[in-house]
């Protein structure tokens, strides 16, 4: 992709924006590419925190940050969790996050399913957020189960101890090889059962079945789908609208095309 700009998609932006304005229940599915616009590296890939998939001690990132490794060598897993948190520190939500939050505030029936653990959707003002992979900001004791919220890991010993029982804390995130949280999955199933009539995939490679599944279902049933991703995914050739640009560019433009500008005064709809 070279020299493609928002202007090249002007017609598609207008068409997608009109559909956005008529959708009753909108599901956003977001991945690391959205937070990349805030300056956060993705785990792998060009510009990634672990280029080539290997950490600085020679382990694949999937192994270093696995549930099995945490059981055997929590210091190794914490080493890379703290590196990821450090890369988030000082970063903020971008125009893409704020556009989604604005749409929820003005439209009403907007749900975000995110793979990201940075908390930026909530920071931007979104409320109906399913953090499928958890959040770095909530630490949970593996012994007593108590949780605490932290803004960042500055000043923490790594690995940190539980202030209540002295056990080890871990971020309340899904490590490689671990099951997805029941509560998040239940909420996700409720959203799908309600029948979203537009699905917007933003900055995710759609490599996990539960991430790609809703979009594939929508495609099969003729429900409008939008993919925003500078790169390609397995769904790119099948979605109704594909924008190979940064989410921070496309999402505000889609909202404006749909009449959801900041001064539109549009009321929230159920």
In this prediction, residues 98-117 reach a mean pLDDT of: 93
Shared domain check, 247 and 199: yes
Alpha carbon 23 to its chain's center: 21
| Residue 262 domain flag | no
What confidence score (pLDDT) does residue 263 get? 53
Which residue range is the domain that position 64 belongs to? Answer: 51-90+138-173
CATH of the domain at 236: 3.40.50.1220
Average pLDDT over residues 243-254: 95
pLDDT at residue 9 greater than cutoff 80 = yes
Apex CA 30: angle with CA 237 and CA 206, to 5°? Answer: 40
Give catalytic status of residue 133 as yes or no: yes
Residue 40: band (very low, low, confident or very high) from pLDDT cuts 50, 70, 90: confident
Give the pLDDT mean for 142-163. 92
Q: Are residues 188 and 63 in the same domain?
A: no
pLDDT-above-90 percentage for the chain: 67
CATH of the domain at 165: 3.30.1600.10
Higher pLDDT, 193 or 41: 193
Q: What would the pLDDT profile of 42-96 be if each residue is shown by its tens digit?
A: 665 434 555 556 777 888 888 988 999 999 999 999 998 998 888 888 889 999 9
- pLDDT tens track for 112-138: 999 998 899 999 999 999 999 999 999
Q: Residues 79, 143: one domain? A: yes
Average pLDDT of span 183-205: 93
Task: Give how far the C-alpha of residue 36 lies from the chain's centroid of Cα atoms, to the nearest Å.
Answer: 10
Q: Are residues 196 and 221 located together in one domain of the fold?
A: yes
Contacts of 95 (CB under 8 A, 6+ apart): 37, 248, 249, 251, 252
Asked if 92 and 120 count as a contact pair (C-beta separation under 8 A), the reply is yes
| Domain shared by 97 and 72, yes or no | no
Sign of the C-alpha dihedral computed for residues 156, 158, 164 and 166 taken in this order: negative
Co-location of 233 and 195 in the same domain: yes
Q: Do both 118 and 65 map to the same domain?
A: no
pLDDT at 39 over 60: yes
**Are 197 and 115 part of one and the same domain?**
yes
**pLDDT at residue 268 greater than cutoff 80:** no
Domain contains 249: yes
187 and 167, same domain (yes or no): no
- Nearest of 95, 33, 29 to residue 256 by alpha carbon: 95
Q: Is 45 within the bounds of a domain?
A: no
Number of domains observed in the structure of the chain: 2
Return the higher-pLDDT residue of 45 and 178.
178
Catalytic residue among 97, 121, 133, 221: 133
265 pLDDT more than 50: no
Residue 1 falls within a domain, yes or no?
A: no
For residue 270, pLDDT over 80 is answered with no
Bigger pLDDT: 201 vs 260: 201
Residues 86 and 144 grouped into a single domain: yes
Within 8 A by CB and 6+ apart from 28, the residues are 100, 110, 111, 112, 113, 199, 200, 202
């Amino acid at each position: 992709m070279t020299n493609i700009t928002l202007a090249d998609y002007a017609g598609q932006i207008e068409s997608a924006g009109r559909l956005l304005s008529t959708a009753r229940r909108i599901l956003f599915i977001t991945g690391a590419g959205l937070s990349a616009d805030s300056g956060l590296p993705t785990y792998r890939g060009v510009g990634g925190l672990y280029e080539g998939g290997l950490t600085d001690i020679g382990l694949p990132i999937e192994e270093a940050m696995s549930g099995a490794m945490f059981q055997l060598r929590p210091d190794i897993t914490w080493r890379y969790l703290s590196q990821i948190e450090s890369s988030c520190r000082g970063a903020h939500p971008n125009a893409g996050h704020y556009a989604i939050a604005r749409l929820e505030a003005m439209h009403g029936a907007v749900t975000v399913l995110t793979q990201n653990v940075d908390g930026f959707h909530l920071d931007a003002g979104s409320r109906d957020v399913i953090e499928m992979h958890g959040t770095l900001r909530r630490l949970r004791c593996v012994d007593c189960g108590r949780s605490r919220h932290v803004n960042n890991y500055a000043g923490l010993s790594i690995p940190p101890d539980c202030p209540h029982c002295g056990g080890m804390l871990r971020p309340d995130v899904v490590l490689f090889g671990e099951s997805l949280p029941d509560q998040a999955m239940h909420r996700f199933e409720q959203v799908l059962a309600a029948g979203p009539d537009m699905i917007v995939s933003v900055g995710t490679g759609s490599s996990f079945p539960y991430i790609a599944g809703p979009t594939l279902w929508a495609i099969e049933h003729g429900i409008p789908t939008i993919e925003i991703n500078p790169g390609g995914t397995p769904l790119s050739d099948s979605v109704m609208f594909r924008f190979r640009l940064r989410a921070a560019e496309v999402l505000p433009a889609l909202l404006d095309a749909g009449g959801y500008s900041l001064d539109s005064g549009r009321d929230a709809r159920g």
